[in-house]
Structure 1
Amino acid sequence: MVELDQSLQMLKDLTDAKGIPGNEAEPRQVMKTYIEPFADQIQYDGLGSLIAEKVGEADGPKIMVAGHLDEVGFMVTQIDEKGFLRFQTVGGWWSQVMLAQRVTVVTNSGEVPGVIGSKPPHILDADARKKPFEIKDMFIDIGAESKEEAQSFGVRPGDMVVPVCDFTVMKNPKYLLAKALDNRIGCAIAIDVLKQLKNEAHPNRVYGVGTVQEEVGLRGATTAAHVIQPDIALTVDTGIPGDTPGITEKEALSELGKGPQIIIYDASMVAHKGVRDFVTGVADKLGIPYQFDAVPGGGTDSGKIHLTGKGVPSLSITIATRYLHTAASIIHRDDYENAVKLIVACIKELDKEKVQAITLD
């Protein structure tokens, strides 16, 4: 078993925590434990987003660094007479990655193991076997013999269900495997940014934020940004790499280990040109690697943050992540560390004059 250093232990604690949209209490507590020593104060918005503030200068620009706490998962909607659970996806899922996956049902009285089941292919006709199995026809088997027994386990409609995948350092230790890297890696980066700034002078007010309910409509980003009213926002999330078999350069260019991704366009936002040029200029000056990417079919918390108040110049900085929105994803540690290095360097260079110049760019 690989011995974990402080950063990896933090990432393990964050990703092992269970928290689908609307149920972020466990990862929020983990984030609070790790970020509190580096914050001057912690507050919350009305939906439960965590907002940790580190003051450089009291009248300095407000810089928001946000990752989201929630992970994609499921919610129990029904218990049938034989004790099988019907469920609703919470966040985006592709049916082909779900069957036979182990899950944990989180109840008020404890955790219940289960597996996602379906009708076996052996009894399907030839045409049905050629088609992806529909989510509406799946169920969760928790080993209960009846509805009453399932209820005796503490299961009830509304309970959270999360996939099972323990945090794992792979044989090449630069590669990290876990569930919920989307987007506990963003929360880890926000924590590390405040940690790096603890004893550093800078003329800003920095907010390390863990937003809630990103996977169902960027909801916590909306409320947290209203609380903070930031001058600049850097959203940290996960992105799509193009370095696995079958993906063409036209579909995705980035590779794991080649630096954080600078998102120039997605379905929720056009990157602010001034912030983009400032961030990449800092990276170029310091030799920090980065990659450009565009994701026309997705979005991040920046999509709501940049519309707050009179408008917030924003940029999404993402970590290339294999197998997004599945039970198990992979990132490269160098991308994580370079994202922290880049954001810290940007914050040190920002001040009132730079923020004003960026805003008018």
Structure 2
Amino acid sequence: MEEFISLLKKLSEARGPSGFEDEVRELVIKEMEPYVDEVTVDRWGNVIGVKRGSSSYRAMVAAHMDEIGLVVDHIDKEGFLRFRPIGGWNEVTLLGQRVWVKTLDGRWVRGVIGVMPPHVTPSGKEREAPEMKDLYIDVGARNREEVEKMGLSVGSVAVLDREFAILNERVVTGKAFDDRVGLAVMLYTLRQLGDLPATLYAVATVQEEVGLRGAQIAAERINPHYAIALDTTIAADVPGVGERLHVTKVGAGPAIKVIDGGRGGLFIAHPGLRDHIVRIAREAGIPHQLEVLYGGTTDAMAIAFRREGVPAAAISIPTRYVHSPVELVDLSDALNASKLLKNVLEKTPPDIIDKFLDRRVK
């Protein structure tokens, strides 16, 4: 438990908005290298760790490094930074937050997202939610020239400034659990693995939050025989939400995805691989849930439809308050996700993989 908490804390507090995952990448490489046979980084920054198995079959596990962020698109003459979103935000969660903003030379400086005090808020406007275009970052500068001397400019990116915290012995909160908890599960599982029937490609992907970009590139390169994405999923088991809309419950075990997606189309997990994962969970006595999520998807979507097609599925970690500064995870769900992943990777031999590859084989 302590080992996993330490790993998740480091990953959560690292700063890596989509397209700027460098800080997370270096941490992943350091944590991955002792437990794999080879580590490479591709042209777009995906980290690919290879652990050789006993056959020529290839299994891919993907977890994304990037977090949602902000990008400066204008600096007022008074020195306030206007910004646009990188990924999906609810503007309400940004009010009154501290942020880190990246300078041209790679340093990070602190700022705050200002909010009008109630004392001067116009009557009737107190409860109105702001639009992103009306928000700004204050870095304490007096004018645009001071901002530029700090090394900030249009194109500078920002992420939340939020520490990892333990709420009790099993529940933790922090930023970027989407998907640093999936990364932690992947890296922690690498430490536990025994002999593998298929060569494992453990991939820390880039730019998931802006279109599953890194997973597409990695899947084309690896051309796996089957793949599993590790990501968070919605746990809306909170007051005011009907049970049908919970999607998953915190503390009830990792979720095995059945279907997800939204306006861009639905992803249906490969039935054979999904059922195989469910069967292994049951045989190993690992608590689990089945996930149907209408809204949002994972790297599994991008991997599944490369080349001739890849049997792909996802193991999800239930997370409350996704895409906010206070994402919340039950550590038992993450540790059981790791246990499930380990069992799947060790207990999926070539004859089972052949059944994934040919839907006619029973």
Instruction: State TM-score, norm by structure 1.
Output: 0.95
* Partner secondary structure for residue 216 of structure 1: coil
What is the CA RMSD across the aligned residues, in angstroms?
1.5
Report sequence identity in percent: 37
Out of 96, 101, 104, the residue aligned to residue 100 of structure 2 is 104
1:73 and 2:69 are equivalent in the alignment: yes
Tell me by how many angstroms 1:189 deviates.
Answer: 1.3
Q: Find the aligned partners of 1:37 and 1:188 in 2 and give their Cα distance.
A: 15
Out of 150, 154, 177, the residue aligned to residue 173 of structure 2 is 177
1:62 and 2:74 are equivalent in the alignment: no
Tell me by how many angstroms 1:295 deviates.
Answer: 1.1
Q: Find the aligned partners of 1:311 and 1:15 in 2 and give their Cα distance.
A: 33
Out of 8, 11, 21, the residue aligned to residue 11 of structure 1 is 8
Q: Which residue of 1 aligns with 2:197?
A: 203
Amino acid at match of 2:239: P
Q: Which residue of 1 aligns with 2:133?
A: 136
* Partner secondary structure for residue 214 of structure 1: coil
Q: Find the aligned partners of 1:35 and 1:300 in 2 and give their Cα distance.
A: 22
Kindly indicate whether the alpha-carbon contact (under 8 Å) linking 1:118 and 1:137 is maintained by their aligned counterparts in 2.
Answer: no
Q: Which residue of 2 aligns with 1:28?
A: 25
Q: Find the aligned partners of 2:302 and 2:12 in 1 and give their Cα distance.
A: 24
Amino acid at match of 2:352: K
Tell me by how many angstroms 1:253 deviates.
Answer: 4.1
Amino acid at match of 2:67: E
Q: Which residue of 1 aligns with 2:35?
A: 38
Report Cα offsets for 1:92-137 as digits up to 9, x if no partner: 0011111111111121252211111244455454454443111111
Q: Find the aligned partners of 1:178 and 1:191 in 2 and give their Cα distance.
A: 19
Out of 45, 50, 54, the residue aligned to residue 47 of structure 2 is 50
* Partner secondary structure for residue 245 of structure 2: coil
Kindly indicate whether the alpha-carbon contact (under 8 Å) linking 1:278 and 1:358 is maintained by their aligned counterparts in 2.
Answer: no
Q: Which moved more, 1:266-275 or 1:249-258?
A: 249-258
Amino acid at match of 2:15: K
Kindly indicate whether the alpha-carbon contact (under 8 Å) linking 2:247 and 2:293 is maintained by their aligned counterparts in 1.
Answer: no
Kindly indicate whether the alpha-carbon contact (under 8 Å) linking 1:313 and 1:359 is maintained by their aligned counterparts in 2.
Answer: yes
Out of 315, 318, 341, the residue aligned to residue 316 of structure 2 is 318
Instruction: State TM-score, norm by structure 2.
Output: 0.94
* Partner secondary structure for residue 294 of structure 1: strand
> Which 4+ runs in 1 deviate beyond 6 A?
none
Kindly indicate whether the alpha-carbon contact (under 8 Å) linking 2:247 and 2:292 is maintained by their aligned counterparts in 1.
Answer: no
Q: Find the aligned partners of 1:256 and 1:205 in 2 and give their Cα distance.
A: 32
Q: Find the aligned partners of 2:13 and 2:102 in 1 and give their Cα distance.
A: 13
Q: Find the aligned partners of 1:220 and 1:106 in 2 and give their Cα distance.
A: 22
Kindly indicate whether the alpha-carbon contact (under 8 Å) linking 1:11 and 1:184 is maintained by their aligned counterparts in 2.
Answer: yes
Q: Which residue of 2 aligns with 1:276?
A: 274
Amino acid at match of 2:298: T
Q: Find the aligned partners of 2:73 and 2:33 in 1 and give their Cα distance.
A: 36
Q: Which residue of 2 aligns with 1:244?
A: 238
Q: Which residue of 2 aligns with 1:113?
A: 110
Out of 295, 299, 307, the residue aligned to residue 309 of structure 1 is 307
Q: Which residue of 2 aligns with 1:350?
A: 348
Q: Find the aligned partners of 2:304 and 2:46 in 1 and give their Cα distance.
A: 17
Q: Which residue of 2 aligns with 1:285?
A: 283
Q: Find the aligned partners of 1:228 and 1:348 in 2 and give their Cα distance.
A: 19
Kindly indicate whether the alpha-carbon contact (under 8 Å) linking 1:60 and 1:351 is maintained by their aligned counterparts in 2.
Answer: no
Q: Find the aligned partners of 1:204 and 1:316 in 2 and give their Cα distance.
A: 18
1:213 and 2:211 are equivalent in the alignment: no
Q: Which moved more, 1:138-147 or 1:154-163?
A: 154-163
1:148 and 2:142 are equivalent in the alignment: no
Tell me by how many angstroms 1:43 deviates.
Answer: 1.4
Aligned length: 354
